[in-house]
């Protein structure tokens, strides 16, 4: 690479919402207890398996930084069909952003009883109001173990795809935050309705959801 004058793209430092334990930590519901009978040990494995949509959702916040400022994306992703169920793009990672994201999801699906909504241990997910909102909807809250980003790897995987495909290497083409926001919105629409995935049998997330509903 040196001889040919090639340079790798180095991802920028990611936004971290963890501010410590605010007495709002909950159990990771995506872990499955396993027993090793031969070695007499018990361990846990991540279980992302689903049989239908609206069974397991994940969420997180990611930062997009350009010369004119920063935008923060807060989406909900359905583990069954990898669809972005709802999202909010804000100039500040505040609780209003999280609340708007939830309300958009609740407008689409009124009965979410028994759904697992997983996140990391970010401050917004530890808030009493957040706990209360989910409980009122019959949603089971779940959190990654401290310092274990793999517990929310599918959300991280989406952020990686999005940034590699529409952001990294293009940061200086966005002159304003409005331009960046429009590009982010267009990408999510493309991702949900046009971007096919091998794991979804060559379908888009929306096509896979519609097919699941017909079975």
Give the start-to-end residue ranges of the domains of the chain: 31-214
CA-to-CA dists, residue 33 to 4, 43, 44, 45, angstroms = 50, 6, 5, 7
Name the superfamily (CATH) of residues 31-214.
Ribonuclease H-like superfamily/Ribonuclease H (3.30.420.10)
How far apart are alpha carbons 127 and 214 in whole angstroms? 38
How far apart are alpha carbons 191 and 197 in whole angstroms? 10
Sign of the CA dihedral running 133, 110, 187, 202: positive
Q: Which among 153, 157, 165, 184 has a CA at the least distance from the CA of 70?
A: 184
3-state secondary structure 8-28: CCCCCCCCCCCCCCCCCCCCC
Looking at residue 3, its pLDDT comes to: 83
What does the DSSP 8-state code read for residue 50?
Answer: -
Among 14-18, 30-34, 117-121, 169-173, which is the least confidently predicted range? 14-18
- Range 158-165 average pLDDT: 98
Query: What's the whole-model pTM score?
Result: 0.90
Average pLDDT, the chain: 92
**CB distance 87 to 188 below 8 Å:** yes
27, two tokens: 């159990």
109, two tokens: 């699906």
How far apart are alpha carbons 212 and 215 in whole angstroms? 5
Residue 12's pLDDT band, with cuts at 50, 70 and 90, is: low
Residue with tokens 């060559």: 202
> pLDDT per residue over 16-53, tens digit each?
766 677 789 999 999 998 887 777 788 789 999 999 99
Residue 115 has pLDDT above 90, yes or no: yes
- Residue scoring higher pLDDT (152 or 6): 152
């Amino acid at each position: 690479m040196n001889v040919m004058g090639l340079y790798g793209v180095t991802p920028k430092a990611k936004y971290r919402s963890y501010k410590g334990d605010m007495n709002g930590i909950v159990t990771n519901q995506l872990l499955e207890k396993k027993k090793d009978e031969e070695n007499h040990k018990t361990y846990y494995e991540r279980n992302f398996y689903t049989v239908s949509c609206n069974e397991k959702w994940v969420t997180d916040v990611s930062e997009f930084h350009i010369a004119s400022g920063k935008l923060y994306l807060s989406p909900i992703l359905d583990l069954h069909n990898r669809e972005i169920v709802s999202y909010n793009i804000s100039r500040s990672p505040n609780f209003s952003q999280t609340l708007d994201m939830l309300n958009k999801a609740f407008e689409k699906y009124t009965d979410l009883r028994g759904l697992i909504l997983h996140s990391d241990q970010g401050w917004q997910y530890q808030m009493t109001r957040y706990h209360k909102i989910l409980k009122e909807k019959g949603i089971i809250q779940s959190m990654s173990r401290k310092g274990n980003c793999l517990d929310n790897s599918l959300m991280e995987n989406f952020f990686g795809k999005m940034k590699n495909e529409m952001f990294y290497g293009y940061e200086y083409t966005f002159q304003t935050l409005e331009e960046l926001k429009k590009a982010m919105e267009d990408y999510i629409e493309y991702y949900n309705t046009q971007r096919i995935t091998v794991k979804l049998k060559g379908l888009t997330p929306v096509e896979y959801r519609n097919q699941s509903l017909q079975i």
